[in-house]
Structure 1
Amino acid sequence: MPYLINGNSGKAPAGPADEGGFTGWSLVGADHVTSGEQAAARQRPWQGGPDWVSVQTRAHVDALEIDAPPVLGTGSRTRVTATVTQGARSVPVGFPLAADWTGSPNVHIGDRDDARHRHTAVLDPSTGTLTALRPGTITLAVTVNGTTQKVQIRIGAAGAASTA
């Protein structure tokens, strides 16, 4: 890793929140690479090597909020967002700010095509799109720097109230 550009941790951000201006810190991780993995990477560099360095940008969190509708109709799609509050500043949760989206067992986090029959809804965290597949109640959660916020959403029959 030749260098890491890090955000502010002891003073006000230099830019607006929607352009990455927030306070926080970075967690750098390095995993052990075996001698076999090292040799394979040297012999076949075009295949790429093991993913051994990672960086998480951890925002300072005074408060965390999820914006999602309480009810969504089957077959409907809506956008789910999260916001971190830092003093008077509201920061949208998204790159470069590290966040983990999770859900109840009946929620698939990821691509819609990978959902199974047991899944009531699908959340694509890269776009924030929540797709209601069948009736039921789901829980979505987002964690930013150790702070977690949860929301419950009822998936009703097609045509149920929605804020999509």
Structure 2
Amino acid sequence: MKSVVVLHHHPPRDPTPAKASQLGDRKEAAMLEEWLADFERRSGKSALFVGAHVGTFHADRVDGVPYVINGNSGKGPSSAPHLGGFTGWTHFGVDGRGEVVAETQAHVDSLAVSAPATAPRGTPIDVAAVVTQGGRQVPVAPPVSADWTASPSVHIGSALGLRPWHAAWFDPSTGKLVALRSSGSVVLSVTVNGVTAHATVTLAAPRKAAA
């Protein structure tokens, strides 16, 4: 056993301004955080705390220990969509190293990707995705889990993986797409909770400087 998970209805800390859903006894909350951090240090194993009740999806670390708050699934959230206020569930699993990993799966009524039709070479353009839940618009960004894919000529990730044959570079952490060539087109796709949306962008010559 390489990891230990503690499940508790109330989290030690409520990330919302009201702080109404955290453990009421602040000494108990501090003791719990101290115990888990000390367990990691003494045992060499990983610890994870999973809580709920807040009505918001949230993840943070205290003294190196991850704390995950699972949001609502069957009733409305208690915070704004971009702050984790959406409905869904959290999927936990164990990777090949024995570490616990979590994916936040948002309910998806529809999913859309927005991007300019053209990307001038060398000029970053904004790419964004939005999940619709009834009348709620949820940006596809943490804590929403999403898988971005693209045409084979597109590098997805940091600049470290760029190669001479790449026609474009997309960094999901910034939402920026950079054309590296002046012709052709690329397709970007995002999948959230099994639903996929696409956007096609044409690569163009650099913009001419103003006279």
Return the TM-score normalized by structure 1.
0.83
Give the equivalent residue in structure 1 for 2:143. 96
Per-residue deviation at 1:52? Answer: 2.0
Per-residue deviation at 1:51? Answer: 5.2
Q: Show CA shifts across 1:134-161 (max 9, x none).
A: 022101000000000011100011128x
Q: Show CA shifts across 1:25-55 (max 9, x none).
A: 11110246xxxxxxxxxxxxxxxxx352111
Give the equivalent residue in structure 1 for 2:33. none
Q: 1:31 to 1:133 in 2, by over 3 A?
A: closer
Q: Which protein shows a greater Rg?
A: 2
Q: Does 1:146 align with 2:194?
A: yes
Give the equivalent residue in structure 2 for 1:18. 82
What SS does the corresponding residue of 2:144 show, helix, strand or coil?
coil
The size of the alignment, in residue pairs, is 143
Quick one: distance in 2 between partners of 1:31 and 1:93?
24
What SS does the corresponding residue of 1:18 show, helix, strand or coil?
helix
Quick one: distance in 2 between partners of 1:126 and 1:156?
24
Which range moves more in the overlay, 3-12 or 109-118? 109-118
Quick one: distance in 2 between partners of 1:63 and 1:6?
22
Matches within 5 A, 1:33-52: 50=97, 52=99
Give the equivalent residue in structure 1 for 2:174. 127
Give the equivalent residue in structure 2 for 1:35. none
| CA RMSD, Structure 1 to Structure 2 (Å) | 1.4
Which range moves more in the overlay, 114-123 or 52-61? 114-123
Give the equivalent residue in structure 2 for 1:45. none
Give the equivalent residue in structure 2 for 1:137. 185
Q: 1:7 to 1:70 in 2, by over 3 A?
A: same
What SS does the corresponding residue of 1:15 show, helix, strand or coil?
coil
Give the equivalent residue in structure 2 for 1:66. 113
Q: For residue 137 of structure 1, what is the amino acid of its counterpart?
A: S
Which range moves more in the overlay, 104-113 or 52-61? 104-113
Matches within 5 A, 1:74-113: 74-113=121-160
Quick one: distance in 1 between partners of 2:200 and 2:74?
36
Quick one: distance in 1 between partners of 2:184 and 2:132?
31
Which range moves more in the overlay, 2-11 or 91-100? 2-11
Q: For residue 185 of structure 2, what is the amino acid of its counterpart?
A: T
Quick one: distance in 1 between partners of 2:158 and 2:94?
28
Give the equivalent residue in structure 1 for 2:29. none
Quick one: distance in 1 between partners of 2:103 and 2:205?
39
Return the TM-score normalized by structure 2.
0.65
